[in-house]
Chains A and B, each alone.
Chain A
Amino acid sequence: MSLLQVEGLTKRFSGLTAVDDINITVADKEFLGIVGPNGAGKTTLFSLISGQLPPTHGRIVFDGVDITGWPADKVASAGLVRTFQLMRPFESMTALENVAVASHHRFRSRRDARRHALAVIERVQLDRYVNAPAGSLPTAGLKRLELARALALEPKLLLLDEVLAGLVPADRAPMIELLGDLHADGLTVLFIEHIMAAVLALSERLLVMHEGAQLALGNPHEMTQDRAVVEAYLGEDYA
């Protein structure tokens, strides 16, 4: 059964059409990769789905409910959560408090929320920074904190915007492994990423975007055989 249906989703900024008639259906527990050159509209698509931007046209149905035009906090509470490529931590608060803010939406009592936040922090292996101010975390830690905050809302659908960007290669493999585990545990994921090795390792289907439009959608390995797609959008290394 489908968890997310996007129908004819379009966003125009005065003259520019940033997202142009996107139609996708995401099945429950699916891992859908999204690739495309810079400016293809991937992040704008995320902003539309998660309610940061209102769409110009189109419809978004999440878990059987039409959520088109809902504000971001309501969408997040409903279980559709995104992360940002440039992290938005609460710098003056500790890592634990950062995550606990999200946990509070699922647990009424402070103690339960705190315990839940701790469990999520352990899940993303951020234990050693539990009581450090978020502002003092290294990039790899901030990426995990952003992920932990999203997971604390116990999302049904997680939109990940370049969680690997800015990580040194040594830090990428454990992150890819963690994302694979989360997916194996039943999380549905939309995954924007430039690093093709990660996209191919994790994605079950792949959406290729170009100038806001949907260029191709299908099996990632077949797509790497499609010379035109590869040369134009995945980089010449893969051609």
Chain B
Amino acid sequence: MQERTWAASEAPDSDAAVGGIEKYRLPLAVAAAVPVVLVLIYTVGDKDTGLVTQSVVTGLLLGGVYALVSIGLTLIFGVLGVINFAHGAMLSLSMFLVFWLTSTLGLPVYLATVVAVPLMLGFGFVVQGGLLNRLTVSGNHEGSLLVTLGLSLLITNVLLMIFGGRPLSVPGSLEGAWRVFGAIASYERLIAFGGALLVALALTLVLNKTSFGMCIRAVSANSQGAALVGVNVGRVYALTFGIGSACVAVAGGLLAPFLSLTPTVGEEFTILAFVIVVLGGLGSVVGAMVGGIVIGLVQTVGALYLPGTGSLILVFAVFVIVLLFRPQGIFGVTR
């Protein structure tokens, strides 16, 4: 009966059916390309095997760091559409928060990170709810761009005023390293990598398995439609920015032990984080993870052939080539 009642004139939809394999072709191709390139470098790359292994390990761990920094950004940039220029400054802020908690209160660095997470969540909630919401809700993206730029200057200079410009290091760092296939992986970087995986997993679960996550995705897809079904769009924006900021706090806490802290330390990651977010696909947590690892590997393994900053050229070459074939990014959805 129902088959007859409506849409009799329409052929059954084909898009949905094709979606299955077609959708994952490029992500699979990227995943396959990475080991193929590595095998080529090992066999015909004319480099010392130990050196290559060390580069791969360093690259993976660096990728974890990049992923950690990018995950918060993909949420804010991808879901809210806010280009958060203060992302780097917020990363610095998290690191100094962790530094202050360890140096004055004597907390261990990873416990300080746990304390910093809710503080940054609240900070992000207030920034979006109090400063940006009026602009974001009305779709004024230029406005929010300027506000976040101003916020970035404010944060950086307040940090400069309080802590000065001398590089600082977090006390009580974790010494030691793990040896794997003759390569060295420091514990601190391994923990950062593990942290990136955990944050990515937790966020994926929240986005896909909770009703709040569904609200975030609905707002991201169509904020007017979301308001229509009773979603308080302003509050979802504020909470999303808060969660993004909490991810930044995790990144700050896990990165602080092996970086020397200056008020601009976070900004060094900003450009690469934007590259990774766009490469991985806006709003895709898995994309940020994969993008981070790809960029980390390209940078360190590429440095074997193009020393110094030359490997950054390779990074951007990969970026341009991927976007040429897939403008929405590796795990992106066409909108």
Instruction: Name the interface size band of chain B.
Output: 20 to 34
Does B230 contact A129, Cβ atoms closer than 8 Å?
A: no
A93 to B19, CA, bound (A): 13
A194 interface hit (Cβ, 8 Å): no
Chain A residue with Cβ nearest B225: A88
Contacts of B228 in A (CB 8 A): 50, 72-73, 76, 81-84, 88, 149-150
B1-35: CB near A (< 8 Å → 1, else 0) gives: 01001111110110110010000000000000000
Does B6 contact A175, Cβ atoms closer than 8 Å?
A: yes
Q: Is the interface of B mostly helix, strand, loop or mixed?
A: helix
A105-123: CB near B (< 8 Å → 1, else 0) gives: 1000010010000000000
Does A101 contact B15, Cβ atoms closer than 8 Å?
A: no
Contacts of B333 in A (CB 8 A): 92
Contacts of B16 in A (CB 8 A): 129, 131-133, 136
Residue from A135, A141, A152, A174 in contact with B229 in the complex, judged by beta carbons closer than 8 Å: A152
Which B residues from 235 to 265 make CB contacts under 8 A with A? Answer: none
B199-235: CB near A (< 8 Å → 1, else 0) gives: 0000000000111001101101110111111111100
B335 interface hit (Cβ, 8 Å): yes
Does A171 contact B215, Cβ atoms closer than 8 Å?
A: no
Does B7 contact A90, Cβ atoms closer than 8 Å?
A: no
Q: Is the interface of A mostly helix, strand, loop or mixed?
A: helix
Contacts of B231 in A (CB 8 A): 73, 101
A89 to B10, CA, bound (A): 19
Contacts of A104 in B (CB 8 A): 211, 214-215
- Most chain A CB within a 10 A radius of its CB, from B218, B221, B227, B229: B229
Instruction: Name the interface size band of chain A.
Output: 35 or more
Residue from B6, B8, B225, B227 in contact with A90 in the complex, judged by beta carbons closer than 8 Å: B225
Contacts of A91 in B (CB 8 A): 221-222, 335
Which A residues from 117 to 149 make CB contacts under 8 A with B? Answer: 125, 127-129, 131-133, 135-138, 140-141, 144, 149
Does A102 contact B13, Cβ atoms closer than 8 Å?
A: no
A16 interface hit (Cβ, 8 Å): no
B172-201: CB near A (< 8 Å → 1, else 0) gives: 000000000000000000000000000000
A127 to B238, CA, bound (A): 35
Contacts of B15 in A (CB 8 A): 132-133, 135-136
Contacts of A84 in B (CB 8 A): 224-225, 228
A167-198: CB near B (< 8 Å → 1, else 0) gives: 01011001101000000000000000000000
A90 to B333, CA, bound (A): 12
A205 to B19, CA, bound (A): 46
A127 to B37, CA, bound (A): 46
Residue from A97, A132, A177 in contact with B214 in the complex, judged by beta carbons closer than 8 Å: A97
Does B7 contact A140, Cβ atoms closer than 8 Å?
A: yes
A134 → B minimal CB distance (Å)? 8
B219 → A minimal CB distance (Å)? 9
Does B224 contact A88, Cβ atoms closer than 8 Å?
A: yes
Which A residues from 51 to 90 make CB contacts under 8 A with B? Answer: 52, 71-74, 76-77, 81-84, 88-90
Contacts of A127 in B (CB 8 A): 2
A45 interface hit (Cβ, 8 Å): no
A19 interface hit (Cβ, 8 Å): no
Contacts of B211 in A (CB 8 A): 104, 110, 113
Does B2 contact A125, Cβ atoms closer than 8 Å?
A: yes
Does A137 contact B13, Cβ atoms closer than 8 Å?
A: yes
A166 → B minimal CB distance (Å)? 12
A163 interface hit (Cβ, 8 Å): no
Does A170 contact B8, Cβ atoms closer than 8 Å?
A: yes
Does A76 contact B227, Cβ atoms closer than 8 Å?
A: yes
Contacts of B335 in A (CB 8 A): 91-92
Residue from A77, A90, A150 in contact with B217 in the complex, judged by beta carbons closer than 8 Å: A90
A156 to B228, CA, bound (A): 15
A51 to B222, CA, bound (A): 17
B-side residues, CB < 8 A to A, are 2, 5-10, 12-13, 15-16, 19, 209-211, 214-215, 217-218, 220-222, 224-233, 333, 335
Q: A89-B225, A97-B217, A110-B209 are in contact. List 8 more A-B contacts (CB 8 A).
A: A73-B231, A76-B227, A92-B217, A125-B2, A136-B19, A149-B228, A171-B8, A175-B6
A-side residues, CB < 8 A to B, are 50, 52, 71-74, 76-77, 81-84, 88-93, 97-98, 100-102, 104-105, 110, 113, 125, 127-129, 131-133, 135-138, 140-141, 144, 149-150, 152-153, 168, 170-171, 174-175, 177
Task: List, sorted by A's number, 21 A–B pairs whose CB atoms are closer than 8 Å.
Answer: A52-B224, A71-B227, A73-B226, A76-B229, A82-B228, A89-B221, A92-B333, A92-B335, A97-B218, A101-B215, A104-B214, A110-B210, A125-B2, A127-B2, A133-B15, A137-B13, A140-B7, A153-B230, A171-B9, A174-B6, A177-B5
